[in-house]
Amino acid sequence: MNYCKKCLFPETKPDLYFDDAGICDSCHSADRKHGLLNAIDWKKKAKQFEDLVENAKKIKKGIYDCIVPVSGGKDSTYQVLRAKNKHGMKVLAVTFDQFDQTDIGRYNLKILQEIGVDHIHFTLSPIVVKKLVKKGLELVGDPYWVNHVGMFTVPYLMAVNFQTPLVIYGENPQLEYGGPEASRDSFIMDKRWRQEFGGMRGLRESDMIDLEINEADLLALNFPADEKMKDANVMGVFYGSFYKWDIGKQLPLVEEIGWKRLSRPPEGSWVDYENCDMRFIDIRERIKFLKFGYGRATDQINIEIRNGRISREEGLSIVKKTDGKVSRKNENDFCNFLEISKQEYLAIIDSFVNKNIFSTLQLGEYRLKHERV
């Protein structure tokens, strides 16, 4: 299997492209961010965002200038801080409640009270959520499908309802982690982006309908109609398309107001400040590793490599010790939550294992066929 010559992404990563020199497009994007190649004009980008802010304040029909989707994570907390304190916006924070919220995740959501913004929690029926978690696992190997779709849908429903013109997301994933050029260069987060990149995994809401899930169950996951979006002048944007995104510099700002990180990194991760709010994150990360041959630690290390904080060699050493190293201690609890047998769960996981890069030792046990390089 081939890997990027500058970072540690493998060729199996979806929507990743390599040039003839073996360099991935996420590394080329990083060069643009840091002014090394076809540099991004960040002053021009910042002015563009300020114009959007001023326009939102003028055209809003409700009381809020913007909506910021928040999970309790470091990124969305940072977005709220910037929107309120730097850009002087009247912010409505919107949370799509996760099915497996942790205590520290709930604590970090309360930090929004310290910032001083209004905050809406949207909770989908737990009965429906459980069905959708199982369905997402079965169809695309993603137990968090419902969370992704909810966070990229409910804020727009709220924007239409409250006549709020601007919805502000954080990093542009295609700019940070690689993807088609058109999506890397675009700052727009809309229905098309949601369908292609926003956690839908190639599915549509209607794909979830079966004997247990009906159309009414999914109403809160249906993106607002175009005419409603237009009437409320709603636009969704990525903040990281206008300001250079670097969590290493942003993290201290949220910790200053009391945001808490974990006592240690989640299994399969390298840092202790991501996925603090997800109890079953190890389930998702193991499936990702078995699908593509890399995990969250690779994503995290690559960011440090591209920001010049560690070398590729140092990163490779860390990844070999961390990536995919999950104890599977939560599997029984997860099966109990879904009300399925362990054997049924293992069979589902096995259906998503990339057998081209993994050898099967026994059902549920796999080994990479090659050494990470």
Kindly give, in sequence order, each residue whose CB lies less than 8 Å from that of residue 185, ignoring residues fewer than 6 positions away: none
- Residue 312: exposure state from Cβ atoms within 10 A (0-12, 13-18, ≥19): middle
Q: What is the CATH classification number for the domain harbouring 197?
A: 3.40.50
Q: What beta strand segments (E) does the chain contain? A: 66-69, 91-96, 118-122, 166-169, 235-238, 358-362, 365-368
Same domain, 202 and 135: yes
Same domain, 210 and 316: no
Q: What is the pLDDT of residue 327?
A: 87
Mean pLDDT, contiguous 10-residue spans, the chain (373 residues): 96 92 94 85 96 97 97 95 97 95 94 91 94 94 93 96 97 82 78 80 82 88 94 96 92 95 93 93 95 96 94 97 92 96 97 97 94 87
Report pTM.
0.94
Q: What is the pLDDT of residue 21?
A: 97
Same domain, 319 and 182: no
Domain that holds residue 201: 42-241
Give the 3-state secondary structure of residue 166.
strand
Residue 206 lies in a domain: yes
Same domain, 134 and 165: yes
What is the total count of domains within the chain?
2
